[in-house]
Structure 1
């Protein structure tokens, strides 16, 4: 499993509009092959910052499958105009997990 990590800085005063658009766009990413789960978290210290975490089966499911799809074009259309600056995307793999 691969974790996509993205820090999203939203144009100030557009946070609620972004959150609504994100909820509506969530079904797009959730429909993709190789998708496992995603969550959006809101930063407590910086009002316009969010953390997007997406679990993919492989890096290619995200970078080739999703980004190369028509669905990604719709995702872009709905969400990318909220970001300033445009976010960097990183991928992580699990090295250690401490189960309860």
Structure 2
């Protein structure tokens, strides 16, 4: 449970302050969100993000400038701004406060100020002064299944999902099937660290159960590599 009035805020300057809510440090797996409060007449600088942003006005009235087009927003009006589109919000009132609730579609979201080119990672803007959070490590496993066993394999992965979910450091799991080769799958699992996967999970009874579940469906052991984010462009 996250209560904004009990969490530290970051002074954005020019009469704006931000309270981060869902962050990687608090368990985020695929998005970030928080609240920014604007004093009467306050505005933040024109900027872009490398990921889609959605904003809901939750108090007062705002003006949003998206690529030079200015729109007045009432409480609960919602915006959707694609990546790399310059925008900013202003408090439309000269006397009353305004608040927005924002969500970014990537843990790796950055903010780049148009005027200066200064760039910072959203999830690193920690008002407690903590170190910049580490990026999630992605385990990518290429798995080839035996002819006629695709559905059995998919069922086995679904049955194994709780094994991964309770593993230390595991954050996400997705399974994709190749369009060109229906016998080939890619399993992606997000981990806090390589050690959580290689030393922690692989040494557990749950790992042995995972391999048992898929043993009769696969043509050979999964081919596994680990990746860290380098660039999120949009």
TM-score using structure 1 length: 0.93
In the TM superposition, 1:4-43 aligns within 5 A as 4-43=139-178
- The alpha carbon displacement at 1:41 in A equals 0.5
- The alpha carbon displacement at 1:31 in A equals 0.8
Separation in structure 1 between the aligned mates of residue 216 and residue 180 of structure 2, nearest angstrom: 23
Unaligned runs of 5+ in 2: 1-135
Runs of 4+ in structure 1 off by over 3 angstroms are none
Q: Indicate the structure with greater strand content.
A: 2
User: Is this contact kept in 1: 2:153–2:218, CA < 8 A?
Assistant: no
Separation in structure 2 between the aligned mates of residue 83 and residue 69 of structure 1, nearest angstrom: 21
Separation in structure 2 between the aligned mates of residue 90 and residue 81 of structure 1, nearest angstrom: 23
TM-score using structure 2 length: 0.41
Separation in structure 1 between the aligned mates of residue 215 and residue 198 of structure 2, nearest angstrom: 17
SS at match of 1:95: coil
Identify the residue that residue 23 of structure 2 maps to in structure 1. Answer: none
Separation in structure 2 between the aligned mates of residue 75 and residue 21 of structure 1, nearest angstrom: 8
- The alpha carbon displacement at 1:80 in A equals 3.0
Q: Indicate the structure with greater helix content.
A: 1
Separation in structure 2 between the aligned mates of residue 80 and residue 39 of structure 1, nearest angstrom: 19
Q: Does 1:92 align with 2:231?
A: no
Separation in structure 2 between the aligned mates of residue 73 and residue 86 of structure 1, nearest angstrom: 13
The alignment of Structure 1 onto Structure 2 pairs a total of residues equal to 99
- The alpha carbon displacement at 1:60 in A equals 0.3
Of residues 60, 68, 75, the one that matches 2:195 is 60
Unaligned runs of 5+ in 1: none
Separation in structure 2 between the aligned mates of residue 37 and residue 74 of structure 1, nearest angstrom: 19
- Summarize deviations over 1:22-81 as a string: whole Å, max 9, x none: 111111111101001010001111111111011000000000110001111111111133
**Higher normalized contact order (CA 8 Å, seq sep 6+, divided by chain length):** 1
User: Is this contact kept in 1: 2:146–2:183, CA < 8 A?
Assistant: yes
Separation in structure 2 between the aligned mates of residue 48 and residue 92 of structure 1, nearest angstrom: 23
Separation in structure 2 between the aligned mates of residue 76 and residue 82 of structure 1, nearest angstrom: 10
